[in-house]
Structure 1
Amino acid sequence: MIGILYALLSAGLFGLSTPLAKLLLGDVSPWLLAGLLYLGSGLGLALVRLVRRSNEAGLSRRDVPWFGAAVLSGGVVGPVLLVFGLAQSSASEAALLLNLESVMTLAIAWIVFKENVDRRLLIGAAAIVAGAAVLAWPRDAAVGLSWGPVLIAGACLAWAIDNNLTRKVAAADPMQIAMVKGLVAGIANVAIALALGAPLPGAAAAAGAGVLGFFSYGVSLTLFVLALRHLGTARTGAYYALAPFIGAGVAILLLGEPIGVAFVAGGFLMAVGLWLHLSEQHLHEHVHDPLEHEHVHVHDAHHRHAHAPGTPPEPHVHAHRHARLIHRHPHYPDLHHRHSH
């Protein structure tokens, strides 16, 4: 399914960001690095949009409150907490701890936004939490967890809130969503970091952060929004849990970090949780209530409407209305399957 592919590609690109950002921390202060990553994302996508015409629906006025809150949470708070957490953690452990984002995303989608989550997904989430706890456990006799994992867990919570809020605007142009978030979050974080006295990095370090941000934040977020359309928030977050495994593997290969018992045990528990998420199937008779919205679409089983003369060929964008429909097929809580169970 195309939504799964989008989610996995998004996870792979973001997974690379943790170990590579760790390399840049020696040359760039944490807060400034967070800003440069998002600024590279926004500027890169803006250049792409200059040369590539979009056939997607743009953000509307009613999207602004949801999107603004998403930018604040995921574009400002999350990256800052992550880079400060990275400064106090190994890249491989930090990468695996990012699995908490998928669990928190699922919990918010289930409890707050009432998205369907079955027992299999809940057991998988419990396994991921257990794996994260193993990784965060103190390595010496000192009482309490280190601040590194705590800060990274805070970043995961900020991104989980962002993911659920972004679902509300997922019908809009995903590249526009990622571009605006990158520009706003990047400018804000760079300005704050410089105001607090962060030294300017060298040209090579700044360029490296920008390129990394374009792929690991900009392209990754664009693909993530596309996955939200097809899979819903909880399941997209579950597939996205692959990202930390990619990051941890790259950290071990690239940075030469050791593979300890905690790493293996935590990774095993997280792998079990991810497998339970990936192998979930959802099939039942369901009702589509009447719905009117606007997004790019083709005329599939859920889009059987008339057109005015001069409507452009598919795929195309226009406001359209869905009549009430009852049928049975495998599905996820995408744009057209947000029903109760």
Structure 2
Amino acid sequence: MAQASIKPTLPHQGVGYALLAAALFGASTPFAKTLVGQVSPVLLAALLYLGSGVGLLLCYLLRAAVRRAAHERPVALTRPDLPWLAGAIAAGGVAGPVLLMLGLALTPASAASLLLNMEGVLTALLAWFVFRENFDLRIFIGMLLIVVAGAVLSWEQVPALGVPWGALAIIGACLCWAIDNNLTRKVSASDPLQIACLKGLVAGTVNLGIALALGMAVPAAPTILAAALVGFCGYGLSLVLFVLALRHLGTARTGAYFSAAPFVGAAVSVALLGEVPGTLFWLAAALMAGGIWLHLTETHAHHHQHAPLAHTHAHRHDSHHQHRHDGQDGHRDGSEVHSHPHVHEALAHAHAHYPDIHHRHEH
């Protein structure tokens, strides 16, 4: 077994992907709120995902043309990926958006934005206790702060609404997305654009069929275009970045960084909709900020072993990628980002890392 020791570093690239995904998704919530009164929740969910799927399909076709011209080999989904992806689409692409739109109809957009932090919490709980991803006391306390913040926001609605159905619907959407996130992690080494495109097209088509079967009225063209644009940015591009973050950070950590999304949504809600958050809102925001800070300042480093592994994903040659090329793919030295099937030999070394696609070892 090869031995190596490298300087501890954190995968900042994955953190950047997660935070950009959070910003796009967080900003989309208040914009979706402005459309709730014009479109039924189920139909709006369909338009958001169709906008995502169609927009990403155009990007996919354009990229495919560029790659063909450059003779680059694409990274596509494989047959073993399909059951995981189908489950992710059913939970996160069909059930989740409908519950979110129902919740937005009953909940102020600023509070709804912060409640979406429950997605990160539920994602982490499933990753830790179902999919056995590593965590420590610091990460647990951070998630606990976010849970308490979500409870505070739910409690704020009780006097006005009795049973906080809006909050419960949004939390239900977060659970669906938590399932989606953990299943998507199983295919995160594949093409993120293809994954997000398929999710958008399938989920949007299913929701559109449900909406039309229930006799829901189709809105005017400007409303359809507005929903499609929100969906492309807040669901499509955000999901592509989220899948890339899953590849680098693992599920629970990506969910934690993604918890920044509601703060973006809350800020846009105040500016766009003129909402005035109450005292409990700011208390919840402080608790959530503390939880996110604990995750952002985490460092995880120890000596670990890599078992032999064969897979395909975009990479450049580093301490984990030292394989040879046959010279036919135009990447003889491996210094550029490229994709092809490759084999990792057994390796032992120590450095800072997250549970990415190369670090899913036991602790």
TMscore range, shorter length: over 0.9
Distance 1:117 1:145, change over 3 A: farther
> d(CA) in 2 for partners of 1:139 and 1:247?
18
Distance 1:34 1:306, change over 3 A: same
> d(CA) in 1 for partners of 2:342 and 2:88?
26
> d(CA) in 1 for partners of 2:20 and 2:40?
29
Which residue pairs with 1:339 in the alignment? 361
Which residue pairs with 1:50 in the alignment? 61
Shift of 1:259: 1.8
Find out whether 1:95 has 2:113 as its counterpart.
Answer: yes
Which residue pairs with 1:20 in the alignment? 31
> d(CA) in 1 for partners of 2:43 and 2:338?
40
Q: Is the 8 A contact 1:103 1:128 kept in 2?
A: yes
Distance 1:141 1:203, change over 3 A: closer
Which residue pairs with 2:243 in the alignment? 225
Could you give the per-residue CA deviations for residues 126-163 of structure 1, whole angstroms, max 9, x where no partner exists? 10010010100154558963100000000000000000
SS at match of 2:122: helix
Distance 1:232 1:46, change over 3 A: same
> d(CA) in 1 for partners of 2:156 and 2:275?
18
Residue identity matched to 1:315: V
> d(CA) in 2 for partners of 1:118 and 1:292?
29
Q: Is the 8 A contact 1:115 1:234 kept in 2?
A: yes
TM-score (norm 2): 0.92
Residue pairs, 1:205-244, within 5 angstroms? 205-244=223-262
> d(CA) in 2 for partners of 1:144 and 1:295?
50
Residue identity matched to 1:229: R
Could you give the per-residue CA deviations for residues 67-112 of structure 1, whole angstroms, max 9, x where no partner exists? 0000000000000000000001000000000000000011111001
Which residue pairs with 1:60 in the alignment? 78
Shift of 1:312: 3.0
Find out whether 1:5 has 2:23 as its counterpart.
Answer: no
Name which of structure 1's ranges 322-331 and 310-319 shifts more when overlaid on structure 2.
310-319
Which residue pairs with 2:7 in the alignment? none
Residue pairs, 1:86-165, within 5 angstroms? 86-139=104-157, 145-165=163-183
> d(CA) in 2 for partners of 1:62 and 1:159?
21
SS at match of 1:257: coil
Shift of 1:310: 1.3
Q: Is the 8 A contact 2:158 2:164 kept in 1?
A: no
Find out whether 1:316 has 2:338 as its counterpart.
Answer: yes
Give unpaired runs (5+ residues) of structure 1.
none
Shift of 1:261: 0.9
Shift of 1:305: 1.3
Residue identity matched to 1:149: A
Find out whether 1:167 has 2:189 as its counterpart.
Answer: no
SS at match of 1:304: coil
Shift of 1:295: 1.1
Could you give the per-residue CA deviations for residues 261-295 of structure 1, whole angstroms, max 9, x where no partner exists? 11011111111111111111111111111111111
> d(CA) in 1 for partners of 2:313 and 2:292?
31
Distance 1:10 1:139, change over 3 A: closer
Give unpaired runs (5+ residues) of structure 2.
1-11, 68-72
Q: Is the 8 A contact 2:146 2:288 kept in 1?
A: yes
SS at match of 1:321: strand
SS at match of 2:133: coil
SS at match of 1:223: helix
Residue identity matched to 1:162: D
Distance 1:250 1:142, change over 3 A: closer
TM-score (norm 1): 0.97
Residue identity matched to 1:132: G
Residue identity matched to 2:144: A
Residue in structure 1 matching 2:43, options 15, 32, 37: 32
Which residue pairs with 2:275 in the alignment? 257
Distance 1:219 1:142, change over 3 A: closer
> d(CA) in 2 for partners of 1:140 and 1:151?
14
How many residue pairs get aligned? The number is: 341
Distance 1:316 1:141, change over 3 A: closer
> d(CA) in 1 for partners of 2:81 and 2:20?
26
Shift of 1:320: 1.2
> d(CA) in 2 for partners of 1:299 and 1:290?
17
> d(CA) in 1 for partners of 2:286 and 2:159?
25
SS at match of 1:286: strand
> d(CA) in 1 for partners of 2:47 and 2:307?
44
